[in-house]
Structure 1
Amino acid sequence: MPSALTLIFMVLFCLVSLASMLQNGFMIIVLAREWMRNGALPAADMIVVSLAFSRFCLHGIAILANLLASFDFCYQANIVGILWDFNNTLIFWLTACLAIFYCVKISSFSHPVLFWLKWRISRSVPRLLLGSLIMGGLSAILSATGNVIATQMIISQGFYENCTFGHMILDFYRYYYLSHAMLMWFTPFFLFLVSLIFLMFSLYRHVGKMRDHRPGPCDPRIQAHSMALKSLTFFFIFYILFFLSLIISSTKNKATESYWYWAREVMIYLGISLNSITLVLSNPKLRKALKMRL
């Protein structure tokens, strides 16, 4: 029977996840209506709605996986965990795509490659979304492969009769999963970080050029830089906390009866929820729709 503190954190985790599902559901509905009304969506909104849908699914999968693991439905929890890997990797790559899109569209570097990307990036968004789906699918395949290998090792060697070999299996799965996480999560995290740094240098460079002209606070390029940087900076804070939490949790055993496990889950998904709020407030259509609802 879980302790009272564990039950409190379990309830908090469910409440945070449900609240975040409502936030992302709101984004999906608003942008889907916009899509149906106009017959198309701007490239950035296509990434945002894909990100919102992926996060909506991630929270639902996380609730289901944690509840199954709590009631010792390990096999079902592993299957749902593979779906969680798919969604989680998809979110990382979609976030990187959004950062790259902002960087290419707003940055003021005068390089031929950047000019070519500015011209192509909007039309390339569907391909970026497809590439993110492919990376998510590859992550799910690697996760399933690790599960199958670990299960076969347990069956063939007798896990319960040999504790030493049991620890070897756990170590194998832990390091396999960590390697998979570093490959699938660190790469989009690195792309996100590079895009953020480029935007910061672009803003610094543009402000330096315009200093002698004394631009007003309504200078459109500075406003675009500032809005994108504010959005991506908040993204970065929650993103790096989420990234580090996942890396730490992938190297530790998951004891779902421990209140520390549920406290960590609350912090991880609270960060995603706050990130979703930042996404709503940084998007003009979503911000306007939110004001109308309130």
Structure 2
Amino acid sequence: MPSTPTLIFIIIFYLVSLASMLQNGFMMIVLGREWMRNRALLAADMIVASLASSRFCLHGVTILTNLLASFDFCYQANLVGIFWDFTNTLVFWLTALLGIFYCVKISSFSHPVLFWLKWRISQLVPRLLLVSLIIGGLSAVISATGNIVADQKTISQGLHENCTFGHMSLDFYRHYYLCHAVLMWFIPFFLFVVSIILLMFSLYQHVEKMRGHRLGPWDPHTQAHTMALKSLTFFFIFYILFFLALTISSTKTKTMQSFWYWAREVMIYTGVFSNSILMVLSNPKLRKALKMRF
């Protein structure tokens, strides 16, 4: 029987996960209706809809994995964990794609590559979404391979009962998934950070230019920069907590009865939930649908 603080975190985890599933389901329905009505979606809305779908699946898979592991269905939990790696990697790359899209569309740099991307990125979004799916599939293959090797090492040590890892398999698990985190999660995280930095620098250049022309700082282009920066900054705060918590979890394996395991789960998925709130509030279609509903 878990302790009272652990039980509190377990309850918070499931409540946050269910609330986030409802929230992302709402986003999927609103944008899905928009697509059905117009037979098309804006490029930014395509990314948001894909991100909402992947987060909905991420929460669902996480709930299922924790439930299976809690009842010692370790083999089934490992199988579902492969889908968790797929959806989690997909969330990282779609988040990076959203940051890059805003940076390219709003920034005012005169570099030829960025200028070309500004006019082409909307057409490239469907292909980039497909690339994200392929990378997510590659992550699932890597995860499955790691689980097979770890299980074989565990069986060879005679510790396959009750989800117990031996020392050799645990060391392998930690190092393998740390490399996995660096390869699949750090790259999109880095791209997202670079996008925010470039957008900030672009805003600074634009404001200085407006001052030189003695124009007001709140022209529409500056407002677009500022609104995007506000959303991406808060997005970044929760995103970095999500990234750090996942990286730590890749190097430190906790049991299901551990207080710190559930505290980490609450930290990770509260960050995802908070990001989803920002996506709803920063998207005009979703914000309008929310006002009409409530």
- What TM bracket, shorter-length normalisation? over 0.9
Matched, 1:45 2:11: no
How high is the TM-score relative to the length of structure 1? 0.95
Residues 1:26 and 2:22 are matched in the alignment:
no
* Change over 3 Å in CA distance of 1:39–1:227 after alignment to 2: same
* Cα separation, 2, equivalents of 1:17 and 1:215: 47
Distance (whole Å) between structure 2 residues aligned to residue 44 and residue 250 of structure 1: 32
The one-letter code sitting in structure 1 at the alignment partner of 2:214 is: R
Q: State the match for 1:85 in structure 2.
A: 85
SS at match of 1:211: helix
Q: Which amino acid aligns with 2:244?
A: L
Alpha-carbon shift at residue 258 of structure 1 (Å): 1.4
**Structure 1 counterpart of 2:213:** 213
Superposition RMSD on alpha carbons, in Å? 1.4
Aligned-pair CA distance for 1:217: 5.4
User: Does residue 1:4 correspond to 2:15, yes or no?
Assistant: no
Q: For structure 1, which segment, 215-224 or 79-88, has the greater mean C-alpha deviation from structure 2 after superposition?
A: 215-224
Listed one character per residue, the Cα deviations across residues 32-71 of structure 1 (whole Å, up to 9, x for unaligned) are: 1111111100000000000000001111111111111111
Residue by residue over 1:101-144, the C-alpha shift from the partner in whole angstroms, topping out at 9 and shown as x without a partner, is: 00111100001111111111000000110010011100110010
1:285 to 1:103, Cα distance in 2 relative to 1, 3 A: same
Give 1:171's aligned residue: 171
Instruction: Indicate the residue corresponding to 1:262 in structure 2.
Output: 262
| Partner of residue 153, structure 2 | 153
For residues 85 and 187 of structure 1, the distance between their equivalents in structure 2, rounded to whole angstroms, comes to 15
Cα 1:124–1:81 shift into 2, 3 Å: same
**Compared with structure 1, are the counterparts of its residues 156 and 257 closer, same or farther at alpha carbon in structure 2 (3 Å cutoff)?**
closer
Greater mean deviation of Cα atoms: 127-136 or 209-218: 209-218
What is the rounded CA distance, in whole Å, between the counterparts of 2:233 and 2:215 in structure 1? 24
Tell me the amino acid that sits aligned with residue 199 of structure 2: L
1:154: Cα distance to partner?
2.9
* CA–CA distance in structure 2, aligned partners of residues 214 and 33 of structure 1: 45
**5+ long unaligned stretches in structure 1:** none
The aligned residue for residue 233 of structure 1 is 233
What is the CA distance between 1:271 and its match in structure 2? 1.1
Q: Give the 5 Å matches for 1:281-292.
A: 281-292=281-292
Matched to 1:36, the amino acid is M
Report the TM-score, using the length of structure 2 for normalisation.
Answer: 0.95
* Cα distance between partner residues in 2 of 1:90 and 1:285: 24
Read off the aligned partner of 1:149 and give its amino acid letter.
Answer: V
Partner Cα separation in structure 2 for residue 119 and residue 48 of structure 1: 20
Partner of 1:133: 133
C-alpha displacement of 1:170: 0.9
Equivalent residue, structure 1, for 2:182:
182
Partner residue, 2:65: 65
Residue in structure 2 matched with residue 74 of structure 1 by the alignment: 74
Distance 2:215 2:85 in 1: 47
Name the aligned partner's letter for residue 12 of structure 1.
I
